[in-house]
Structure 1
């Protein structure tokens, strides 16, 4: 018999007359076990009933799911309000940042926040994140200019990342391995639903008397409604209650955190502005590329050799790079995220340009995509504990995403709407099938002390890839689109500013001048550009397929439960 407690990293138990080492999920309170089997049974037992009541846990889940929904909503809500924002605030060269600013803010702090959730009181971090998210939303709604809008989006992204990580942390702390896939699937369902409903809700406000500003203000009353739940019902959990706060702060890998944020920010800035605001061969973007490369190398070296920190405290879980499974889970999750964000942002644009749809009508055309994506997020979340094996899901996901995206790459002005819906559905199956699976698999494959690292690692893949994919797509759309428009409308005397206005969907002379020949040529050039953007999900589908094929043919220790 041996006593276990939550502060040990390694425990020893006698079973079958042998001394065995356990490095796995620790119980929250001290307990005694007689065998390895009893220990495993204990760690698979949900902690929730003994800590909080079922009705309280229900309200906690409601708060977590709303947070995930709002986070997903703000990730994509700008997709259908960029036109009205541009008409109101101007500065077309900064327009892409309305969409990019939110995921950029998130990915810049994901690893830092993930580390904080392992050492600080998670309830206070969650509430602080909600306050930050709401503050950013309020700034966006009241923005007098584009700079304020971008600032608000970044702040909201930081707060949103804390909300999302907080939800995943609560689930990892208060649920068992048995129930965790279902809870993760529900978090993923709400986040994915928010992502896909974002353009619809944003489009609804943009054409209403309330204006686009209420697409951001809507977050305020929703969070206020559940504020008593966050304040009074959310349980506390501090993994290191005996360590003083200043000591915890001093242990943070601040150098790594700053370098991580710098790398992502520089990449987004140079990729977004090069070619649109700056010429590619100008000194400004060249210098930024050099600084970005130097920052990336510095970050890698600092993390590998643990400069100014220790291997246990470095911000990036670099030991995961030694695991084939973790690397493949990362790449395949990134693939699903890339497919999702491209579809959500550019499918409505296709219908606006080719069918003359309003923002709300174009967004409603995403419903087939919404329904199928949400269904498969839930389906695979419930299937994983039954199937056990995860690699087939990624192989199937890659096949469907590759086929659906390849078909979307071929569409043109005359493509039947029904055919496009069919292509959407194929891509949606691939995206939804593996959108959240890695959260359960990655956590199940690591030791307890690496749980938060696993969540943060996959979150970087999911949210970070969204920011990167949006930046790449925006660069293609602005640069390749301008070239295509210049070629199509050569000799018509349009200025570069007017052509860029057409790409933004603004009321430009190109699209609203009354000349149908000009409009048709312009739309054909824009759709040709969008077809180029669909190469991103095509590559993502191939990556998902290859990742799944290279994964171990193994079962993870997850079983279904009625709890």
Structure 2
């Protein structure tokens, strides 16, 4: 249970009358959750707590400028999570390499998930201002490479690079707000961060589709980041103040505190996992030597990471990358799995609903994105509803149960009852069911997990634990779904077009978008068969949603029926 002394440290918790054994700091109402402030200090909460009796670091115009700048950066981070959802077809039309299509969506969260733990620890060691600025530069360099990419490989590398910088931006915003606000106002500013992140996610497909359909082309979906950042640059360079979490400690000593072996193994695990499902079946047969080699490398990397973290090899238990001790807590493990399931149920529809409209109705990018808006708005509303209502009652297991049931129904309907003739009203209805399931417990673990640790210094570990579950779940789900779409899509299309003289390359190209030759220069009958085959491949991707929803429902039923006392914030 949570430590009653937390309230004294944070200044934002109150025990339930008559019961002091379980409560947690204030929560936010949308992603990123205000509780992620704990990560801001790496492995320490003290620097933020020191501000309790102080005035805010910035006053007047300077404060407004800092807030605007950091919220704009948060918007950019949310934007790039979904910006490619609606520009995949023109990119593949330009570069080909349809077998690498999945990397467009996977690359950004892959870079984020691979570095979120080491960057979180770095913010507890190094100058916050300059680490934040370096992260922005890294993100912009990746964006510039994406915009000017001469090939699909360059674009993929740029996405991974931008994602790695984006995770530093994301944690940096939380750092800056944490150390710049008083303890009383901090929850509100953190909640606003979530609003801007959610707004970015909502508008990502719309903005990407608008650029793709304009004379500017899809490249400006990435170049736009450079212009936005240039406007904010003077604030970060001349107004933002430096903050040293460990003043006087030599850089070489700080570097020694980082679990470098853990960092390398963590990156290897995610990378080889993505490579297995990217190449397997699409470029190489599943029993080909290359595919087997990647399977072996993934398995070896995962085993090495598990052993290295479990026994603190080349590091210490205090400095190891992954919070291993939380795996001994039954409730924390269930929250981790449930958070992975929630990420799966949100991001698969974000990428595949627009794809459905592009293939079936031949809609342009912006129209397909508009069709996604009901889903996105309901996700954000559900998340905010949970943040406002759950703290009033304390019980959390039934939120996950409701989420699992709604996602299970929505995913099943997308799998079994969607074809080329399905009406828009049905798609919207199925989307809303999925959105409620995906959003209603999306951020809940960021409030619950810290309440279940037994001491204050473990709170950052709990937050990082859930961070990895959320972003890692996004990587895993998009990777597997991309593999399903490529492999089963090719199988369905080949069967539907058998006897018409189409080559394997033409069939692979058809999976890139509705503008391929099969859809534009063939008879209506062949086009209809091809469309039905692709829609079947899209529907097959919802098998993973059904699986995640079922697993999430089981986890909810296994959760303790305990009550955790939470305090709602003024946010959202």
Fold conserved (TM > 0.5)? yes
Moved more, 93-102 or 168-177: 168-177
- Deviation, structure 1 residue 347: 0.2
Q: What's 1:275 paired with? A: 281
Q: What's 1:12 paired with? A: none
Corresponding residue SS for 2:567: coil
Q: 1:383 & 1:171 partners in 2: Cα distance?
A: 25
**1:539 partnered with 2:539:** no
Q: Which has the higher contact order (CA 8 A, sep 6+)?
A: 2
Of 215, 223, 226, 2:229 maps to 223
Write the deviation string for residues 403-432 of structure 1: whole angstroms up to 9, x where unpaired: 222222121112121111011111111112
Equivalent positions of 1:249-398 (< 5 A) are 249-398=255-404
Q: What's 2:529 paired with? A: 521
Moved more, 544-553 or 430-439: 544-553
Q: What's 2:433 paired with? A: 426
Corresponding residue SS for 1:311: coil
- Deviation, structure 1 residue 176: 8.1
Write the deviation string for residues 468-494 of structure 1: whole angstroms up to 9, x where unpaired: 111101100010111111111111111
Change (3 A) 1:338 1:233: farther
1:178·1:561 contact (CA, 8 Å) conserved in 2? no
Of 82, 89, 101, 2:107 maps to 101
- Deviation, structure 1 residue 208: 0.2
Write the deviation string for residues 259-294 of structure 1: whole angstroms up to 9, x where unpaired: 000010011011111111111111111111111111
- Deviation, structure 1 residue 49: 5.8
Corresponding residue SS for 2:124: helix
Of 440, 462, 472, 1:464 maps to 472
Change (3 A) 1:296 1:560: closer
1:184·1:381 contact (CA, 8 Å) conserved in 2? no
Q: What's 2:132 paired with? A: 126
Q: What's 1:52 paired with? A: 57
Change (3 A) 1:532 1:298: same
What RMSD over aligned residues (CA atoms) do the two structures have, in Å?
2.8
Q: What's 2:75 paired with? A: 69
* Runs (5+) with no aligned partner, structure 1: 1-19, 29-36
Q: 2:251 & 2:216 partners in 1: Cα distance?
A: 44
1:391·1:551 contact (CA, 8 Å) conserved in 2? yes
Q: 2:320 & 2:156 partners in 1: Cα distance?
A: 30
Equivalent positions of 1:22-37 (< 5 A) are 26=9
Equivalent positions of 1:484-563 (< 5 A) are 484-505=492-513, 507-560=515-568
Corresponding residue SS for 2:55: helix
Moved more, 507-516 or 494-503: 507-516
The number of equivalent residue pairs is 534
Q: 2:404 & 2:474 partners in 1: Cα distance?
A: 17
Change (3 A) 1:52 1:393: farther
Change (3 A) 1:21 1:519: closer
- Deviation, structure 1 residue 465: 1.3
Write the deviation string for residues 35-80 of structure 1: whole angstroms up to 9, x where unpaired: xx9xx99999983962424655554443333223211211221121
Corresponding residue SS for 2:285: coil
- Deviation, structure 1 residue 124: 2.1
Moved more, 507-516 or 236-245: 236-245
Change (3 A) 1:394 1:440: same
2:98·2:511 contact (CA, 8 Å) conserved in 1? no
Of 80, 90, 95, 2:96 maps to 90
Q: What's 1:162 paired with? A: 168
Q: What's 1:16 paired with? A: none
Corresponding residue SS for 1:366: helix
Q: What's 1:11 paired with? A: none
Of 450, 460, 463, 1:452 maps to 460
* Runs (5+) with no aligned partner, structure 2: 12-19, 26-45
